[in-house]
Amino acid sequence: MKFLPFFLFSLLIAACFHPDPDVISPAKPAKLDSLPSALGRIRLPDGFTRPLYPSGSFASWFRDLPLKPDKTVYLYDGQPKKNQSAQYAVLDQPGSTTDLQQCADVVMRLRAEFLFSQKRYKEICFTDFEGHDYAWKESGNRNDFEHYLANVFGWCGSASLEKQLVPVPDFNLIEPGDVLIRGGFPGHAVMVADIALNKNGEKIFTLVQGYQPAQDMHILLNPLAQEASPWYSIPAGDTIYTPEWVFYKQQLRRW
């Protein structure tokens, strides 16, 4: 099979669309002056604290990621996204000037950027739907790395990533770096960014999303919260409502 037809096919795999726009009511947008400088500085609800993670861990690295002072989400072509009610804040991370870095691609980007920052080059590997591995060579060259990721985004998507990841048997074990994913036509994926706990052991979490068309990666608001909040509680049922997609507990995966 030639590259271009398969490339276009893989974009269909990676594409992310809202399954039912009438299911979710948008939360109130966050105020610009309330935005923190980094993901790990997002305000916690009363009674919750962040668990400590060792230096060099994914959770620690993720918490240090900077947030932009402007919460506007822009598309790959520089135009603002039509729906500006889904996000709490925008990550100050590499985007794309082409329509490549969509939902599952953002998840792969964040995984790869963490390992790249730790010089754990041999662990950077993604698998397409046919089981072919795309492994990064041992090199810290940023330009080559960007070309590598563009190739990964062209051949891998939500369907292949779902196959590559391992199911988490108990949603209560959710940790930063885990992925809520539905691979398919269309599919979608979001990454768990942070968690917090209260004295009763109740766990809450935040989610990072990319979407289609390719756009800035952003922290999602919780559409079921009464006030603008990016924190999600573990639901009593099976459903996790996000502003632009509905997930289920059994769709939680881990690297």
Name the residue with higher pLDDT: 41 or 20. Answer: 41
Provide the pLDDT for residue 96: 83
Task: Kindly report each contact of residues 117-126 with a partner whose C-beta sits within 8 Å and lies 24 or more positions away, as own/partner.
Answer: 117/61, 118/56, 118/61, 126/152, 126/156, 126/160, 126/161, 126/164
Instruction: Give the residue among 66, 9, 48, 56 at the shortest CA–CA distance from 229.
Output: 48
Confidence band for 22, pLDDT divided at 50, 70 and 90:
very low
Domain boundary assignment for the chain: 3-254
Side chain identity at residue 225, one-letter code? A
Checking if the pLDDT of 6 tops 50, the result is no
How far is 40 from 208, CA to CA, in rounded Å? 13
Provide the pLDDT for residue 157: 96
Checking if the pLDDT of 33 tops 70, the result is no
Checking if the pLDDT of 189 tops 50, the result is yes
* pTM, rounded to two decimals: 0.88
